[in-house]
Chain A
Amino acid sequence: MDFATFLIQCLNSLQYGLLLFLVASGLTLIFGIMGVINLAHGSFYMIGAYMAFALAPVVATTFGGGFFAVLLVGTVLAVLLGYVLEWAFFSFLYEREHLQQVLMTYGLILVFEELRSLLVGDDVHGVQPPDILAGTLPLGEMMTYPVYRLFVSGVCLALALGMWFVFTRTRLGMMIRAGSTNREMVQSLGIDIKFLYRVVFAAGVAIAVLAGMVAAPVSSVYPGMGNSVLIICFVVVVIGGIGSIRGALLAALLIGAVDTFGKVLLPQAAGVLVYVLMALILLWKPDGLFKAA
C-alpha cells in the first residue's frame, strides 16, 4: 500500500466511522440513557431510508421541495412516530425486565417489516442525491470521491456536536442526565419525567430515521436493511460505554478504521475483527471506553 492509497483508506475509514456514529447515536440515547433495549432501532433506520424513497414524490408535488424538504418532513413525522410509540408501548417498559423489552421490540421489528412489505413491496430501490451534492471530487489518478459522502460526514459531525452541546451545556441535558441516574428523585424535584422521556425517545427515533434518510442515497434501500445495522449499532454503544455520546463517537471511528483496514490487510478475518475489538476492549474496560456518570 503506497502512501496515497493509505491516505485514501484513512478517509474511507473516517467516513464509515462517522456514518456508523450517525446510525448508532439514536440508540445511545434510547438504550444508553433511558435503559430500554430497543431492538427496533434498526427498523427506525429502515423506515427513514424508505421515507427518503417514498416521500420524495409526495413532497415534491405538495410542497414543491426536493431532498432537503424530504429530510424536514421525514424528521417531523419521525418525532410524531416516536412520541406515539413511547406513549403506546415503551412507557410501560421502563420498570420491566430486559427480557420483556427484548420481546416487545423484537415484535415491533416484525410488524414494521411486514408493514414495509405491504406498503412499499419487496423490491430494491435507489435514491438520487440532490443535484447540488451529486458531483464528485478527483482523488488520486484513478478515483473520484462523491461530494454527497462529504455531506454525510458533515451531518454526522454536526449531529455529534449538537448532541454533546445539549447534554453537557443545557438545562434540558442536565435534567435528562439526572433522570437516567435517579428517576424518582428528579420527579420529586417537580420535573415531568414522563414527558421528558417521551421527548428523549422521540428524539432518538428521529435521529435514527434521519440517519436512514441521509444514508439512503449511499446505501440504497432494500428489505432487511435495518437488521444489518442493528448489531453494529449495539457494538458501537457497548464499546463506547453505555450512555456516552463521546464514547459512541470514538467507538464508531475505531470500528470504521478496524473494518476498513481489516478488509484490505486481513480479508480472511474481516468478518470477526470488529467483534474481536469489542471483546478486547471489554476485557480491558468492562464498562466500555467512557461510562456515563
Chain B
Amino acid sequence: MKLKTLAFAAALAVSSAAQAQSAKLKVGLMLPATGTFAALGTAIENGFRLYVAEQGGKLAGREIEFVKVDDESDPAKATDNVNKLIKRDNVDVLVGTVHSGVAMAMAKVAKDTGTLLFVPNAGADAVTGPMCAPNIFRSSFSNWQPGYAMGEVMAKKGHKNVVTITWKYAAGDESVKGFKEAFEKSGGKVVKELSLPFPNVEFQALLTEIAATKPDAVYTFFAGGGAVKFVKDYAAAGLKKNIPLYGAGFLTDGTLEAQGADADGLLTTLHYADSLNTQRDNSFRLAYAKAYKLQPDVYAVQGYDAAQMLGIGLAAVKGDIGKKAEFAAAIEKAKIDSPRGPFSVSKAHNPVQDIYLRQVSGKENKLVGVASKSLADPARGCRM
C-alpha cells in the first residue's frame, strides 16, 4: 500500500514537471564569457535576468529557462554556436551579442530560420540595415548613431577642420561615416581620415601626423584597452591641451578608472550617461546594485531592455511566439520604458533614441545635455 502511494506520488511529480517543461520559454543567451568582452557579456546577462526577476521569473505567464553558450567573440565559431542553440537546445528566443562579426552570423541564421533574435549590443549598421528582418530586434544602438550626433555637436562648437582616427574595421568605419555625414552637412570638413589595423595600439606615428596637420579638433572611435591607451597617449603627446579630442561614448565607458586624469574633460556621445538622475534610471540602478553588488553600465541597460522588448512582444501574443507578425507589431508600436529614457523602435527594429552629450568628470560620464533628440538610424539597405 505504502509503495503504491509512493509510486503514485512519484508519477504525479514527474507528469507535473513535464507539464512545466512544456510551458517554459527557452531563451538562448549567446554572449562572451571569456576574452576581452567577458565583462560586457556579464553585464548584459545581469541586466536581462534582472528584468525577468522583477516580473517574478515569468514573461506573459511563461517561465523563462536560460541556455548559455560562450561565443568567445569569435566569428569563426559563431554559426556553429547559433545552430547548437537552435537545433540541439531548441531555444525559442536568441539573445546576443557584443561582437559585431558574431552578431552578423547570428542575424544570418536568425533570418534563415525565423528564430527571434534580440541584439543587446553589437552596433554593426548592417544588423538593422541589409540584414534586417521581422524577427530581428536591437536594444542598443547602431554605430552610425553616436557618430552622427557628435558630428552635429562639433559643428555647433564652431570646429571647421577635423581629423578622424579609428581602427580600420567595421565599427570604426561606420562611426566615422556617421560623424562625417552630420559634420560635413553642417559645413565642416574632415581634412584627414587616419586609421590603423585592428587591434594595433601603437598610436605614436599617427599622433605625430595629427600634430603636423594641426586640425581644430579630433574625432575618434576606440573601445576597451585601445581606448585607454589612445587617451593616455594623446595626453602624453601634449595634444590634449592644443587640439580638443571628441569621441563616440565607448572611448570613456568602462575605461575611466584606467585612463585617470588624462580623460578629464573629454566630451563623448552615447545613448546613456552616468548621471541621468531620472526616477526610472535611479530605481534601475538601485535594483541592479542590490542584486549584483555592482554598478550597472550601458551594457546592463541594453540587456535589461532586450528583456523588456521580449516581454512586450510576448504579452501581446499571450506567450505564443508562433504569432510572429503580432509579436513584431507589438514591439514596433511600443514605447519602451528604458533606464536611458523611453524609446521606440524604427521600422528596421533599431532604437529611435536620444543621444546624450557627456563630459568626463571625476571618473564619471556626466550628462551635459541631449546631443541629438530621437535620432533614428537611416537603415540603409533594409528591405522589409
Interface residues of A (CB under 8 A from B): 1-2, 5, 8-9, 12-13, 15-16, 113-114, 117, 121-126, 128, 136, 138-140, 142-146, 149, 218-225, 228, 259-261, 263-264, 267, 270-271
Give the residue of B195, B212, B214, B258 whose beta carbon is less than 8 angstroms from that of A124. B258
Cβ of A9: which chain B residues have Cβ within 8 Å of it? 205, 208
Establish whether residues A271 and B168, one from each chain, have CB atoms under 8 Å apart when the complex forms: yes
Question: Quick one: closest B residue to A5, CB to CB?
Answer: B212
Residues of A within 8 A of B55 (CB): none
Q: Which residues of B contact A5 (CB under 8 A)?
A: 208-209, 211-212
B198-234 with Cβ < 8 A to chain A: 199-202, 204-209, 211-212, 214, 224-225, 227-229, 232-233
Q: Give residues in B with beta carbon < 8 Å to A.
A: 34-36, 38-39, 168, 194-197, 199-202, 204-209, 211-212, 214, 224-225, 227-229, 232-233, 236-239, 242-243, 254-255, 257-260
Residues of A within 8 A of B201 (CB): 219, 228
Residue of B at shortest CB range from A1?
Answer: B212
Name the contact of A123 in the complex, choosing from B39, B199, B209, B232 (C-beta under 8 A): B39
CB distance from A49 to the nearest CB of B (A): 10
Inter-chain CA distance A228–B228, complex, in Å, is 16
CA distance A117 to B255 in the complex (A): 17
Taking CB atoms, residues of chain A closer than 8 Å to B194 are 267
Whole-angstrom distance between the Cβ of B101 and the nearest chain A Cβ: 16
* Chain A neighbourhood of B202, CB < 8 A: 16, 259-260, 263
23 A-B residue pairs with Cβ-Cβ distance under 8 Å, sorted by A, are A1-B212, A5-B208, A8-B208, A12-B204, A13-B205, A114-B34, A117-B38, A122-B39, A123-B39, A124-B225, A136-B236, A142-B211, A142-B238, A142-B243, A222-B224, A223-B35, A259-B202, A259-B205, A263-B196, A264-B208, A267-B168, A267-B194, A271-B200
Q: A16 to B207, alpha carbons, bound, how many Å?
A: 14
Min CB gap A50→B, angstroms: 12
Closest Cβ of chain B to A235, distance in Å, is 13
B227 to chain A: closest residue by CB: A124
Cβ-defined contact, B36 with A16, below 8 A: no
B residues near A219, Cβ cutoff 8 Å: 201, 229
Interchain CA distance A221-B206 in the complex, whole Å: 21
Is there an interface contact between B258 and A126, defined as CB atoms closer than 8 Å? yes
Which listed residue, B35, B39, B205, B259, touches A12 by the CB 8 Å rule?
Answer: B205
State which of B208, B225, B232 has its C-beta within 8 Å of the C-beta of A225: B225
The CA of A140 and the CA of B224, in the complex, are separated in Å by 31
In Å, the complex CA distance between A6 and B195 comes to 19
Report the minimum CB–CB distance from A185 to chain B (whole Å). Answer: 43
Give 4 nearest A-B pairs by CB, closest first.
Answer: A222-B225, A144-B238, A271-B197, A126-B258
Q: How far is the CB of A290 from chain B (nearest CB, A)?
A: 25
Min CB gap B105→A, angstroms: 20
Could you tell me the distance between the alpha carbons of A138 and B237 in the complex, rounded to whole angstroms? 9
Q: Is the CB of A126 within 8 A of B34?
A: no
Complex Cα gap A218–B201 (Å): 10
How far is B208's CA from A145's CA once the two chains are assembled, in angstroms? Answer: 11
* Cα distance A136–B236 in the bound complex, in angstroms: 7
B204 touches A136 (CB 8 A): no
Q: How far, in angstroms, from A125 to B204 measured CA to CA in the complex?
A: 20
* Max chain B C-beta neighbours (<10 A), residue from A8, A138, A140: A8
Contact partners of B208 in chain A: CB under 8 A: 5, 8-9, 12, 143, 264
Measured between C-beta atoms, what is the minimum distance from B250 to chain A in Å?
A: 12
Residues of B within 8 A of A220 (CB): 225, 228-229, 232, 258
Q: Which residue of B lies closest to A141 (CB)?
A: B211
Beta-carbon contact of B232 and A143 below 8 Å = no
> Inside 8 A of B229's CB, which chain A residues have their CB?
218-220
Closest chain B residue to A146 by CB distance? Answer: B236
* Complex contact A124–B228 (CB within 8 A): yes
What CA separation (Å) do A267 and B163 show in the bound complex?
15
Q: Which residues does chain B contribute within 8 Å of A223, judged by CB atoms?
A: 35-36, 38, 225
Report chain B residues within 8 Å CB of A16. Answer: 202, 204
- Residues in B with CB closer than 8 Å to A228 are 199, 201
B42: nearest chain-A partner, CB-CB? A122
Give the distance to chain A from B203, nearest Cβ to Cβ, in Å: 9
Docked-complex contact B38 and A122, CB < 8 angstroms: yes
Q: How far is the CA of A1 from the CA of B211 in the complex (A)?
A: 11
Given the known interface contacts A142-B239, A142-B242, the answer about A260 and B204 at a Cβ–Cβ threshold of 8 Å is yes
Closest residue on chain B to residue A139 by CB atoms: B238
Contact in complex: A128, B211 (CB < 8 Å): no
> Hey, which chain B residues are within 8 Å of A139, CB to CB?
238
